[in-house]
Structure 1
Amino acid sequence: MEIGITTFVETTPDVQNGKVMSHAERIREVVEEIVLADQVGLDVFGVGEHHREDFACSAPAVLLAAAASQTKNIRLTSAVSVLSSDDPVRVYQEFSTLDAISNGRAEIMAGRGSFIESFPLFGYDLQDYDELFDEKLDLLLKIRESEKVTWSGRHRPSINNRGVYPRAVQNPLPVWIASGGTPKSAIRAGILGLPLVLAIIGGSPLQFEPVVELYKRVAKQAGHDVSKLKIASHSHGFVAETTAIAKEKFYPPTAHVMNVLAKERGWGPYTRKTFDDASSLKGALYVGDVATVAEKIIFLRKNVGITRFMLHVPVGSMPHEDVLRAIELLGSEVAPIVKAEIDRWEVETEEIL
């Protein structure tokens, strides 16, 4: 069981005073957060790619590389790389370079992107949304499999026996399929035998159990070893000394961001009731004290089958010291509880079987 952090490097207005942090300052803060996550023993840190004013990072590999030389053990991943609007050759080169700097700790989470600003920015048509991802994933996997690549498609010039360098330290460089939980994504990941990461950010996490089962079933039919499949969740949350403090600090910035997105996407309003309901044991919000968050992660592991949990913090702008404290508590207190319980539960399960 792996536990880590994801961030979108938010630069939304401070809900207390309306001030907006500079992109440069927030990027430097995230490097500090990654270094701390490594120091407290977390397994992975993911940085999202966005191309809009309220998220500061458009180049996750660069930000992760800044932290790579200051860390020793933590795995460093995009969360996600918007592969549909990028060039797979450059994506591979950027992350193989990160892999070299970190001595084999880089990963790619490849997704289609729920934010679409990158498509017009780089000249892509949203009508090709699905086809772009399928085609570019195919090329990315060919690049990681072979030093010399021959490939042709509709949306990128062909490659005829050209080398792609540098080569990653890891062979193969890990590539995850990132999904909001659609059956199509689960089937794609299962056929390819790639690890699957699910954005569990709304509703009940139990709704994702059929998706996981579909993924495993398809992977088995495709001849992959199901016991080696990795399944991750990316979920909003915050850890503090008490659940009351955690909710008091986390609700205002979360509500601000979710209501901005609600207006953009036609969702209903995000209310305190929405927040509190999602904070229950079977909800998708992992906010509370150490025991509460640990209990929810354990519940997710036992009922959905995830093997990696990534806490997305913050959602909206929060004081840097609060984010650092949440990372410290997750690594030093929550993770040991979760891992000890999962180890005990798996031993008992094996004995019963």
Structure 2
Amino acid sequence: MSDPSRLELGLDTFGDVTRDESGELLSDAATIRNVVDQAVLADEVGLSFFGVGEHHRPEFAVSSPEIVLAAAAARTKQIHLGTAVTVLSSDDPVRVFERFATLDAVSHGRAEVILGRGSFIESFPLFGFDLRDYELLFEEKLELFSKLLAEKPVTWSGSTRAGLEEADVFPKTENGLRTWVGVGGTPESVVRTARYGFGLMLAIIGGPAHRFRQFVDLYHRSLTSFGHATLPVGVHSPGHVAESDQQAWDEAYVGFEAMNNTIGRERGWPAYNRLRFQHDVGPDGALYVGSPETVARKIADTVRTLGLDRFDMKFSTGTLSHAKMMRSIELYGTKVAPLVRELLA
């Protein structure tokens, strides 16, 4: 990324079910309506991208991101809209393409898709897939999706779904569909993303950003070896912005603690604590939490270190209230984004 003015700054949310100002949990329906309002504000403050994750568990309200994004498309003008991520392994590539081509039409070409294998596995039994096929499902479906992007009749065969013979898929897009693959940090995933000629979106949710430089370098080498032109590299990391560091830390901690401990009980993690949180918001951690100045400096360092084209901050933090998230979005767009560009320039 040589030109700071071309850097894309975006936001991601998983549609975390939040608490209101009185401490009561909101309904899933209210949470989803709030996500649409958050996308509208992100557009108003000039951000590049708004991503909505797909989950099928009680902590997250959004299981059909494209429908939420279509609602946002009707109320926004400039911002690009996509997923963070679409769990392709437990979905059908044809249906995924059709849904995003439709979103692209209603948004006047602002749709993007970030494909992933899914770090949560609830969708596999829910839709009748065997976790033993985890790798094969993604490999085959990614191959089919790559063929569908050409928007010409497709012939394909595999073992994870019925084959296709000169099958045409509709609607057609006007200018193609921008596609990324979300990668957690394995060399095989990076090389596969390059092989298909998709953008690389690194999910950095732990540790310092600089340790991912090896994957960025591998991606660029792989693109060259597969004969592809330069393609974008992005990062998705959690964060929260408030007027001061202390305010941001105090607001965000409760949500991070709740989410880490809920998932940690399932995966055998130790209990989350304030000491670990303070490390995570520091220079060697993956949380971008603080004042606009603090968050901007950390984002600029990450962009510079990894040569990024996009940085997406996951602004939803467990049960953090809608009002605090809206203030975070406002500060991210009006304060953090200009500071990042100034620091990079």
TM-score interval, normalised by the smaller of the two chains: over 0.9
1:16–1:281 CA distance, 2 compared to 1 (3 A): farther
Q: Match for 2:317: what amino acid?
A: V
Instruction: Give the corresponding residue for 2:76.
Output: 71
User: Secondary structure of the equivalent of 2:240?
Assistant: strand
CA contact (8 A) 1:14 1:253 kept: no
Instruction: Give the corresponding residue for 1:153.
Output: 158
Structure 1 residue aligned with 2:33, among 14, 19, 28? 28
Q: Match for 1:233: what amino acid?
A: V
Instruction: Give the corresponding residue for 1:113.
Output: 118
Please give the root-mean-square deviation of Cα atoms over the aligned residues, in Å: 1.3
Instruction: Give the corresponding residue for 2:144.
Output: 139
Structure 1 residue aligned with 2:13, among 7, 16, 35? 7
Farther-moved stretch of structure 1 (297-306 vs 29-38): 297-306
User: Secondary structure of the equivalent of 1:274?
Assistant: helix
Instruction: Give the corresponding residue for 1:230.
Output: 232
**How far did 1:14 drift?**
7.1
User: Secondary structure of the equivalent of 1:145?
Assistant: coil
* Distance (Å, rounded) in 2 between the aligned partners of 1:269 and 1:306: 33
* Distance (Å, rounded) in 2 between the aligned partners of 1:65 and 1:146: 21
Structure 2 residue aligned with 1:268, among 267, 270, 273? 270
TM-score by length of 2: 0.96
CA contact (8 A) 2:297 2:343 kept: no
Deviations 1:15-35 (A, max 9, x none): 974x32111000000000000
Structure 2 residue aligned with 1:182, among 182, 186, 194? 186
TM-score by length of 1: 0.93
Structure 2 residue aligned with 1:314, among 297, 313, 316? 316
* Distance (Å, rounded) in 2 between the aligned partners of 1:319 and 1:15: 7
Q: Match for 1:205: what amino acid?
A: A
**How far did 1:310 drift?**
0.7
Farther-moved stretch of structure 1 (142-151 vs 1-10): 142-151
* Distance (Å, rounded) in 2 between the aligned partners of 1:290 and 1:29: 23
Query: Quick check: 1:96 aligned with 2:101?
Result: yes
**How far did 1:305 drift?**
1.9
1:240–1:112 CA distance, 2 compared to 1 (3 A): same
Instruction: Give the corresponding residue for 2:289.
Output: 287
CA contact (8 A) 1:99 1:170 kept: no
Instruction: Give the corresponding residue for 2:3.
Output: none
* Distance (Å, rounded) in 2 between the aligned partners of 1:233 and 1:69: 27
Deviations 1:133-184 (A, max 9, x none): 010011111111133121111011111112100012222x111011111111
Instruction: Give the corresponding residue for 2:199.
Output: 195
User: Secondary structure of the equivalent of 1:335?
Assistant: helix
* Distance (Å, rounded) in 2 between the aligned partners of 1:15 and 1:83: 36
CA contact (8 A) 1:147 1:165 kept: no
User: Secondary structure of the equivalent of 1:70?
Assistant: coil
Instruction: Give the corresponding residue for 1:253.
Output: 255
CA contact (8 A) 1:242 1:288 kept: yes
User: Secondary structure of the equivalent of 1:197?
Assistant: strand
1:265–1:190 CA distance, 2 compared to 1 (3 A): same
Deviations 1:35-73 (A, max 9, x none): 000000000000000011111111111100001011111
Farther-moved stretch of structure 1 (71-80 vs 277-286): 277-286
Instruction: Give the corresponding residue for 1:351.
Output: none
**How far did 1:13 drift?**
6.2
1:107–1:197 CA distance, 2 compared to 1 (3 A): same
Query: Quick check: 1:331 aligned with 2:333?
Result: yes
Deviations 1:78-114 (A, max 9, x none): 1000000000111001000000011000011000000
Unaligned runs of 5+ in 1: 345-353
Deviations 1:208-266 (A, max 9, x none): 1111111111111112223xx21111111100001110001000111110111111111
Q: Match for 2:55: what amino acid?
A: H
CA contact (8 A) 1:96 1:169 kept: no
CA contact (8 A) 1:279 1:287 kept: yes
